[in-house]
């Protein structure tokens, strides 16, 4: 069953001439890990932001869990989805615990439930609760901050996670760890994940299926090995070629 359906979704911004998102149609199944791949300005972030109504489409519609989201209150919709961005956006004046449980606090959960939930999530994302809960964001490394960002997105146990280049600003080794942990979390929690990235290796490693986007259009949407074997057009072929040629360097220079 499809949990998210994009139906001829279009979005254009006044500042630019073309479409940011150009007649995109796609269906995403429950529990799928979808990566959205494309270079900057290809519309992948816009597509993600249309999904939780940070933007509204100019035409077309988006169904989430069987409901047209244009009729759902944006705040309700966003609370039903996790949202993680590259800059993390933790609030500097709140402790790690308060960052993670900002929304539950606004929803007036009782203290005990909030504290338990924060500790549970810190453990889940691999941070020792007793060590981290009372710290402030600036005391954490980039990788640790992004783990907290992930914990915050999971706090209301949403069925859908939207992630916008979450590991884009993180060093290669930490990124590898975080990718592996995200795959573990996906297996354990079974959530539907939409993950935007411009890194083809990341997209093909993480995604059950990959959306390849260019200039607002969805060029191909398929499993990684299908895309690798049967690229839909020249753009996708070129993309695959570029990844292969990088691969060459490493195989040629093996010890």
Interacting residues with another protein (CB under 8 A): 52, 54, 75-79, 82-83, 85-95, 102-103, 106, 135-136, 138-139, 149, 152-153, 156, 162
Minimum CB–partner distance for residue 124 and another protein (Å): 17
Return the number of the residue (156 or 228) whose C-beta is nearest another protein: 156
Minimum CB–partner distance for residue 152 and another protein (Å): 6
- Give me 54's structure tokens: 């940070």
Minimum CB–partner distance for residue 151 and another protein (Å): 11
Minimum CB–partner distance for residue 214 and another protein (Å): 24
Return the number of the residue (102 or 189) whose C-beta is nearest another protein: 102
Helix (H), strand (E) at residue 193? strand 192-197
Return the number of the residue (77 or 239) whose C-beta is nearest another protein: 77
Residues 6+ apart with CB under 8 A from 13: 20
For residue 86, the 8-state DSSP code is T
Q: Give the CA distances from residue 51 to residues 48, 151, 217, in Å, rounded to whole numbers and listed in that order.
A: 5, 20, 16
Give the integer Cα–Cα distance in Å for 70 and 105: 27
SS3 of residue 21 by DSSP:
strand
Q: Helices 111-124 and 142-154 sit at what angle, rounded to 10 degrees?
A: 130
Return the number of the residue (75 or 229) whose C-beta is nearest another protein: 75
Return the number of the residue (37 or 100) whose C-beta is nearest another protein: 100
Minimum CB–partner distance for residue 150 and another protein (Å): 12
Helix (H), strand (E) at residue 45? helix 44-51
Give the integer Cα–Cα distance in Å for 204 and 89: 26
Minimum CB–partner distance for residue 244 and another protein (Å): 34
Return the number of the residue (76 or 247) whose C-beta is nearest another protein: 76
- Cβ pair 243, 201 in contact under 8 A: yes
**How many CB atoms within 10 Å of residue 123?**
12
- Give me 251's structure tokens: 């195989």
């Amino acid at each position: 069953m499809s949990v998210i359906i994009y139906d001829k979704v279009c979005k254009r911004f006044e500042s630019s001439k073309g479409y940011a998102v150009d007649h995109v149609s796609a269906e995403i199944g429950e529990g799928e890990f979808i990566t959205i791949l494309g270079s900057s300005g290809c519309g992948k972030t816009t597509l993600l932001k249309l999904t939780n109504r940070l933007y509204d489409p100019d035409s077309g519609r988006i169904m989430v869990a069987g409901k047209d989201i244009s009729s759902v209150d944006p705040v309700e919709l966003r609370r039903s989805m996790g949202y993680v961005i590259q800059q993390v956006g933790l609030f500097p004046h709140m402790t790690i615990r308060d960052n993670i449980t900002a929304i539950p606090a606004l929803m007036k959960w009782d203290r005990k439930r909030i504290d338990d939930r924060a500790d549970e999530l810190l453990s889940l994302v691999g941070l020792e609760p007793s060590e981290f809960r009372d710290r402030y964001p600036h005391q954490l490394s980039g990788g640790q901050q992004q783990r907290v960002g992930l914990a915050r997105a999971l706090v209301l146990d949403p069925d859908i996670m939207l992630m916008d280049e979450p590991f884009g600003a993180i060093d290669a080794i930490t990124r590898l760890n975080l990718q592996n942990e995200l795959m573990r979390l996906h297996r354990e929690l079974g959530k539907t994940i939409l993950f935007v990235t411009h890194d083809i290796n990341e997209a093909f490693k993480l995604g059950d299926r990959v959306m390849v986007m260019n200039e607002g259009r969805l060029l191909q949407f398929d499993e990684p090995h299908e895309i690798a074997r049967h690229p839909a057009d020249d753009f996708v072929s070129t993309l695959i070629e570029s990844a292969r040629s990088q691969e060459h360097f490493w195989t040629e220079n093996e010890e």
